[in-house]
A = this chain, B = another copy of it.
Amino acid sequence: MVSITDVAKKAGCSATLVSRVVNNQYGVSEKSRQKIQAAIDELGYTPNGLARSLVLKTTNTIGVVVDTLCDAYFFDLIQAIEEEVGKLGYDVLFCSAGNSTEKKSSYINFFMQERVDGILIYGSALDDKKLITKLARSHFPFALIENDMGSLNVNNILLNNQYGSEVAVDYLFQCGCRNIAHVAGDENRQAARRRQKGYLSAMKKHGASNIMILQSGWSEEEGYNTLKEFLSTCRKADLPDAFFFSSDQTAYGGMRALLEAGIRIPDDVMLIGFDDDQPRNHNFSYVPLTTVRQPLSDMGKAAVDILISDIKEKKEIKEKKMFYPNLVIRQTTRKEN
């Protein structure tokens, strides 16, 4: 690395003078300033940001930890975060921790070491509770998206998953369905549990006694396998009126198994998913899916606003903001007139 001494030597002046130019301070003649700037440019000198950060205690940067950067579903969230951060004069670094709490913890620690001013953490892994509880004690600014930490004093951007499921099941009842099965998602995800809870409460509200839960996961593959297995034991006459899936990917997998078995959608069975996501498998003709849409873009924007106001004001009481998903009606449901 080029040091401040190298620059001073090249410009034929003292290191103090170079430091004044780097830090935009007074006491340097225009001529010296130009000579020093030329030396900085020629040598490619970069002021030591870590040392400066130690003094300035700010980076104007936030860090974002997500489970994966390789899922098109998150584009709305990433774009909203980038836009809002830019508007507020910050930069943003992203990293993905897979489903590893250990890795998430390691990235958070790295960010906290004065490399960013605050952190956004996306995801609803139940395993994260311990990590978040510890983080809350550190007084380092952060905000959680999606993972509901209950009464814990943390900035929390939430989606009402239970409400989303209730809206979906209500609509299936309006469509004339009575016999509605739920294809449940990843058990280790809070969101999947809340979605299942919403299914149960809506079924109870409508006085439905025929509760049917097929445990699956959130991937297309799991949805496909779950429905394929179910269909191998279920006579066509005993099919539910509708399947409410815990995620759109699960629904796309399930739809594939149903269509392959010659079951017509929505004539024989109606489907609703959750997320407003796109199919990843482009070698199949999907029926446009009725789904519960998360306002990911609004959530990303709110998360940035809450985090940056916490960075600036060091709030004692953290903010919680709840978002409500809405139903997007497409062609896998049909309402009776």
Residues of A participating in the B interface, judged by any CB pair closer than 8 Å: 1-2, 41-54, 59, 61, 63, 69-70, 72, 75, 78-79, 82, 91-96, 106-107, 109-110, 112-115, 134-140, 278-279, 282, 285
Contact = CB atoms under 8 A, between A and B. Distances in A.
B110 A61 contact: yes
A64 to B, nearest CB: 9
B48 A113 contact: yes
Given A42-B137, A45-B138, A115 B282 contact: no
A46 B115 contact: no
Contacts of A50: 50, 53-54, 113-115
Given A70-B78, A78-B69, A94-B95, A113 B44 contact: no
Given A50-B115, A114-B50, A135-B44, A93 B91 contact: no
A115 B116 CA distance: 10
A135 B43 CA distance: 9
A69 B83 CA distance: 13
B137 A49 contact: no
Given A1-B140, A48-B54, A91-B107, 18 more contacts: A41-B134, A42-B137, A43-B137, A44-B135, A44-B136, A44-B138, A44-B139, A45-B138, A49-B109, A50-B50, A50-B53, A50-B113, A51-B54, A54-B54, A63-B93, A69-B69, A93-B95, A279-B282
Contacts of A59: 110
A45 B47 CA distance: 28
Q: How many copies does the complex hold?
A: 2
Q: Nearest 5 pairs between A and B by C-beta?
A: A49-B113, A44-B138, A44-B137, A70-B75, A50-B114
17 contacts: A1-B140, A2-B138, A41-B134, A44-B137, A44-B138, A45-B138, A46-B112, A47-B113, A48-B113, A49-B112, A49-B113, A49-B114, A50-B53, A70-B78, A72-B72, A91-B95, A91-B110
Contacts of A2: 137-139
A62 to B, nearest CB: 11
Contacts of A279: 282
Contacts of A51: 54
Contacts of A48: 54, 113-114
Nearest to A42: B137
A41 B137 CA distance: 9
Contacts of A45: 138
A94 B91 contact: no
Which of A50, A78, A82, A95 neighbours the largest number of chain B CB atoms within 10 Å of its CB? A50
A256 to B, nearest CB: 15
A8 B45 CA distance: 39
Contacts of A69: 69, 78, 94
A154 B54 CA distance: 31
